[in-house]
Homo-oligomer: A and B are copies of this chain.
Amino acid sequence: MTSTLSSLVNHQVRLASRPVGLPNADNWQFSSEPVAEPGAGGVLVKTLALSLDPAMRGWMNEGKSYIPPVGIGEVMRAGGVGVVIASQHPDFAVGDHVAGGAGVQEYFSVAGDQIQRSGLSRIDLRLGTLTQWLNVLGMPGMTAYFGLMDVGQPQPGDTVVVSGAAGAVGQTVGQLAKILGCRVVGIAGGPAKCEWVVRELGFDACIDYKAPPPPGAGRWDPVGVGLKQHCPKGVDVYFDNVGGDILDAVLARLARGARIVVCGAISQYNNTTAVQGPKNYLSLLVNRARMQGMVVFDYAGRYPQAVAELAVYLKDGRMKSREDVVEGGVAAFPEALNRLFSGRNFGKLVLQVAEA
């Protein structure tokens, strides 16, 4: 194995500078280095696919958050799936498929004393495909599961609204809520996504926030109109991935005792001015409602149980998934990431790094 490894080159994408607004080419630098044999207890992984997530934009910023920022000059943080190509660890064998903190690079290694802390774990391709392990069975699925179950706490019959409905987290949130017996309304951009969410995923309705005004329309508010139409009893649970105007529109339609899960705010991540605060937040008071943030890492101890449950739904067909796989390897990362911010991805955005 040693002779093979020494000939491998690891191509990487590093953070060159902190973006102002939407990331551009100047914020990234490409590097390469030889692949090294793992040390005692360590594992070396060839990355097959990377997860591209809205949260990455936050990791590029300076300042306190739920996780330290990526340092300038460091390989960009990313979750990924791959195959073990060298191992000095008893729990990992060459050929095992794994998920872990890959970074935007072609190979990653985890030192022996970091295995536990890194969260490196074997994945079972009988439970889901490689890309599903980055989606329903990965971080987005865990985020959807614990955000909805623990924070949103939906009851059968509740009206659940989810934004970014065709995205990685949204698709699982909505399908889970349907399984729980809720009325589910998605919000997504464009007729193709909305149609898919309703026809394929079985949501009760989907509101196209990009819908053009009908001829002769005055002030045009497709989300407000859609919520009024599809949530006649108000919104009991809102799973928010987008923030901004859509959050305000939902706040205006809350049912009494509503729960808002603050999962993300992709509409605000590239702002060069202050985040848009929800001007309708006093609806929380009127409706005795709450708005609560969540970070998926807090639930790490319960991932296996959620994975097991979601894998059952995948197998029996109650849960579908869609991944939008971008080819081109790590070199394609900068452009691929930005698709998230214009809504050009359709489904969980994945960067293919090598053929499985």
Q: Across the interface, do B298 and A293 meet the contact criterion of CB distance under 8 Å?
A: no
The answer, among B64, B262, B279, B282, for a CB contact under 8 Å with A282, is B262
A8 interfacial contact with B, CB 8 Å: no
By beta carbon, the residue of chain B nearest A298 is B288
Main secondary structure of the interface of A (DSSP, over half): loop
Q: Are A293 and B295 in contact (CB under 8 A)?
A: no
Report if A4 contacts B (CB, 8 A): no
| A280 shortest CB reach to chain B, Å | 7
Docked Cα-Cα span, A263 to B281, in Å, equals 12
Question: A293's contact among B64, B268, B279, B284, by CB below 8 Å, is which?
Answer: B284
The answer to whether the Cβ of A122 comes within 8 Å of any Cβ in the partner chain is no
Task: Give every chain B residue within 8 A of A140 (Cβ-Cβ).
Answer: none
Which B residues touch A276, using CB under 8 A?
277, 279
What's the number of copies of this chain in the assembled complex?
Answer: 2
Q: Which residue of B lies closest to A251 (CB)?
A: B277
Contact with B along A286-309 (1 / 0, CB 8 A): 111111111100100000000000
Name the interface size band of chain A.
Answer: 20 to 34
Interface residues of A in 234-292 (CB under 8 A from B): 243, 248, 262-265, 268, 274-292
Q: Are A291 and B288 in contact (CB under 8 A)?
A: no
**Closest B residue by C-beta to A274:** B279
| A294–B285 CB distance below 8 A | yes
Are A289 and B286 in contact, CB atoms less than 8 angstroms apart?
Answer: no
Looking at the complex, which one of B248, B265, B290 makes contact with A292 (CB distance below 8 Å)?
Answer: B290
Determine which of B248, B263, B287 lies in contact with A285 in the assembled complex, contact meaning CB atoms within 8 Å. Answer: B263
Residues 48-89 of chain A, each 1 if its beta carbon lies under 8 Å from chain B, else 0:
000000000000000011100000000000000000000000
A275 x B265 contact (CB < 8 A): no
Contact status B284-A262, CB under 8 Å:
yes
The residue in chain B whose Cβ has the minimal distance to the Cβ of A64 is B286
* B residues less than 8 Å from A284 (CB atoms): 262, 291-293
Contacts of A263 in B (CB 8 A): 285
List residues of chain B with CB within 8 A of the CB of A283.
Answer: 293
Interface flags, A151-179, vs B, CB<8A=1, else 0: 00000000000000000000000000000
Kindly list 8 other residue pairs between chains A and B, CB separation below 8 angstroms, not including A65-B286, A66-B285, A286-B295. A66-B286, A265-B282, A276-B277, A277-B280, A277-B281, A285-B293, A285-B294, A290-B292
